[in-house]
Amino acid sequence: MLKDKQTNNSLRKGQIISVFRDRYLVEYDNNKLMMEVSGRYKHIHYLKSEYPQIGDYVNFREVDQYLGIIESICPRKSILERLDVGKIKEKHILAANIDIVFICISLNNDYNIKKLRNFLSLTYDSNYETIILLTKKDLADEVEYYIEKTKEVTDNQIIAISAYNNEDIETIKNITKDNLSVFIGSSGVGKSTLINKLIGEDHFKTNSIRVSDSQGRHTTVNRELIHLGYGGGVIDTPGIRIVSSYFVSENNFEDIKSLSEGCFYNDCTHNDEPGCMVKKALSTGELDVDRYNQYLKAMRLNRFIKKRELEREKLQNKRHGKGR
């Protein structure tokens, strides 16, 4: 459990274990307290990503036995982020200070390479380990086929598991021990069932699989950090339907970057330019169409985000009297 620590000005340190709109449940020294950010914090920060997120360590002061005030967030060692699905297109942080991200893809009708690539794009430029969990292997006849197919799109560790196989559960326990892990994937892939097995109780409610589409009726609607009895912690997340990374460097598309070195134009956009080796690789089948489309989408989003970040920086400087 997180130990209580004194900081300057008698502030205490705790960890966000759940977020409820403008309130935060913080754990410290075997205690839990609901908190909100201070007025000063609200004045200085206005982006959603700058506010406390699950997994964050925060410095706070106690008002009474029912409420605490968060004054600051400790530096984050890692974040799992995506592009917000709203119109504002902000950075949406799913979890902070994590050590491992498990991408869960079930071995039934949910298995989809394009979907896997989209989830992988969230983990580029990360300071944590990414592991692919092929769940519900008890429902698949050709598990090795799915493993080999998954290897075609990622070099990350791949593990096929069943939440009802004790050896598989022990494997995941050994990996998660003393680490903070987050499980992501579409609704119904078995994340909550697996986490219930890890913590040894039915903490997260799940329902049976619908035969029509092989999906589990999943009821997780909020993220929550649960500490494990054997060390470490896990974060369950609601099923993600729309997956868009916030920012992806071109370096994360090493295959396309390597091909582009042979393009006739140094600034080739790989759309309609003559002498484009990327387009040639598409025509010969060397480059997968879905991979190419993912690249184009990522580069378009990057241009948009860079423009928005510049606009927000100007606005923030204006609010704080800078740049005059």
Mean pLDDT, to the nearest integer, of 305-321? 65
Question: 244 pLDDT exceeds 80?
Answer: no
**Phi and psi for 307 in degrees, rounded to 5?**
-65, -45
Cα separation, 5 vs 14, whole angstroms: 8
Cα separation, 253 vs 87, whole angstroms: 27
The three-point CA angle 108-111-112 to 5° equals 155
Q: Where do the domains of the chain lie?
A: 8-73, 79-236, 250-319
Mean pLDDT, to the nearest integer, of 4-14? 67
Q: Which of 63, 58, 71 is nearest to 25 (CA)?
A: 58
Cα separation, 3 vs 178, whole angstroms: 15
Mean pLDDT, to the nearest integer, of 148-176? 94
Question: 106 pLDDT exceeds 50?
Answer: yes
pTM of the model: 0.73
Residue 138 contacts residue 275 (beta carbons within 8 Å): no
Q: What CATH number is given for 79-236 in this structure?
A: 3.40.50.300
DSSP 6: B
Question: 207 pLDDT exceeds 70?
Answer: no
Best CATH choice for the domain 250-319 from the list 1.10.40.50, 3.30.9.10, 3.40.50.300, 1.10.260.40: 1.10.40.50
Cα separation, 241 vs 176, whole angstroms: 25
Predicted local confidence at residue 132, as pLDDT: 97
Q: What CATH number is given for 8-73 in this structure?
A: 2.40.50.140
Residue 36 contacts residue 24 (beta carbons within 8 Å): yes
